[in-house]
């Protein structure tokens, strides 16, 4: 395994060298040093705005003075990233109505949770299921920064734990897909668990928004077929992160939208 990792690193270095020569390799290396060895120890700054939402991540003063390529992957400029989770965010903005009940499986740092909560308003509610204890804290912090109160966060995995961030000992309780609560809009961004959830869930929300993860056994064609099999008209909202098309294409990370056929 270590040998494979070293080969992958060497291949990446060769790719960078081929694209920009020695200067590009040196800049990339210094950027890694900034992100890992310098940035974490700089004074905490204001919240980074990702996808239009204030988040638990912070902006460092030095971020304004370094090349964009040195910034963390989730930043596209020194203030954050307006297009973060763009496909899911646009789907929620298009389909969540005031008063809706929204369920989010895979909360991340809380960006889409906040978007859904703002859209559904005080008469609606959002439930978030997140397997990582650290991410649960991130979701709650991001929600607090945006004055969100119509939210319940569950430290829980729905279906199988395939790629939950953090150690196995920090993973929450397991919720069978059949026990997902009834809702109007269901968002699935759960690193491969989408397949089991779609096969076993019994709820039929008005709208499904599903991020595919071919790299974890949930490729777009399979996910689309499962959505259609339970009565949804499926359309493709594009790459999950449009600013990272190569990564999304390599790992098959798209967002599929499903609208429930009234006859289903």
Whole-number pLDDT of residue 94 = 98
Contacts with 175 (C-beta within 8 Å, 6 or more apart), sequence order: 129, 154, 156, 157, 158, 159
Whole-number pLDDT of residue 90 = 98
Whole-number pLDDT of residue 7 = 35
Backbone phi and psi for residue 148, each to the nearest 5 degrees, phi listed first: -85, 130
**DSSP conformation letters of 92-115:** HHHH--TT-EEEEE--TTSHHHHH
Whole-number pLDDT of residue 25 = 56
Question: Domain-by-domain residue ranges, the chain?
Answer: 2-81, 86-260
Is the separation of the CB atoms in 219 and 198 below 8 Å? no
Each residue's pLDDT, cut to its tens digit, for the chain (264 residues) gives 333 333 333 344 345 434 455 665 577 788 889 989 999 999 989 999 999 999 999 999 999 999 988 899 888 888 899 999 999 999 999 999 999 999 999 999 999 999 999 999 999 999 999 988 999 999 999 999 999 999 999 999 998 766 555 544 466 789 999 999 999 999 999 878 899 999 999 999 999 999 999 988 899 999 999 999 999 999 999 999 999 999 999 999 999 999 998 776
Beta bridge partners of residue 129, listed in sequence order? 105, 154
Q: In 3-state terms, what secondary structure has residue 263? A: coil
Strand order in the sheet with 207-211: 173-175, 151-158, 125-130, 101-105, 185-188, 207-211, 254-260, 232-239
**86-260 is classed CATH 3.20.20.70:** no
Helix (H) or strand (E) holding 119: helix 111-120
Half-sphere exposure of 181 (CA within 13 A, CB side): 14
Q: How would you class 102 by CB atoms within 10 Å of its CB: exposed for 0-12, middle for 13-18, buried for 19 or more?
A: buried
State the pairing for strand pair 254-260/207-211: antiparallel
Three-state secondary structure along 220-232? HHHHHHHHHHCCE
Rounded to an integer, what distance in angstroms lies between the CA atom of residue 117 and that of residue 208?
16
Whole-number pLDDT of residue 106 = 94
Instruction: Please give the model's pTM, rounded to 2 decimal places.
Output: 0.86
Of 86, 92, 132, nearest in space to 113 by CA: 92
Contacts with 203 (C-beta within 8 Å, 6 or more apart), sequence order: 180, 181, 182, 183, 186
Whole-number pLDDT of residue 112 = 98
Q: How far is CA 44 from CA 41, 121, 131, 147, in A?
A: 9, 31, 27, 21
Contacts with 198 (C-beta within 8 Å, 6 or more apart), sequence order: 188, 210, 223, 226, 227, 230
């Amino acid at each position: 395994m270590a040998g494979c990792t070293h080969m992958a690193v060497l291949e990446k270095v060769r790719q960078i060298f081929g694209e920009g020569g020695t200067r590009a390799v040196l800049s990339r290396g210094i950027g890694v040093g900034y992100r890992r060895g310098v940035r974490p120890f700089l004074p905490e700054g204001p919240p980074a705005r990702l996808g239009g939402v204030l988040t638990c991540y912070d902006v460092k003063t030095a971020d304004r003075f370094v090349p964009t390529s040195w910034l963390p992957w989730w930043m596209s400029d020194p203030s954050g990233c307006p297009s973060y989770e763009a496909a899911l965010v646009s789907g929620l903005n298009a389909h969540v109505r005031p008063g809706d009940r929204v369920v989010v499986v895979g909360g991340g740092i809380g960006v889409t949770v906040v978007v859904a909560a703002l859209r559904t308003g005080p008469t609606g509610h959002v439930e978030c299921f997140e397997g990582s204890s650290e991410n649960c804290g991130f979701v709650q912090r991001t929600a607090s920064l945006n004055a969100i109160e119509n939210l319940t966060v569950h430290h829980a995995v729905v279906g199988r734990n395939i790629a939950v961030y953090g150690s196995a000992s920090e993973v929450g309780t397991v919720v069978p897909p059949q026990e997902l609560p009834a809702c109007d809009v269901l968002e699935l961004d759960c690193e491969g668990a989408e397949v089991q959830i779609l096969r076993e869930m019994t709820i039929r929300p008005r709208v499904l928004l599903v991020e595919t993860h071919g790299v974890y056994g949930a490729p777009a064609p399979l996910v689309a077929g499962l959505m259609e099999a339970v009565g949804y008209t499926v359309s493709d909202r594009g790459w999950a992160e449009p600013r990272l098309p190569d990564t999304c294409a390599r790992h098959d990370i798209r967002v599929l939208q499903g609208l429930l056929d009234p006859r289903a």
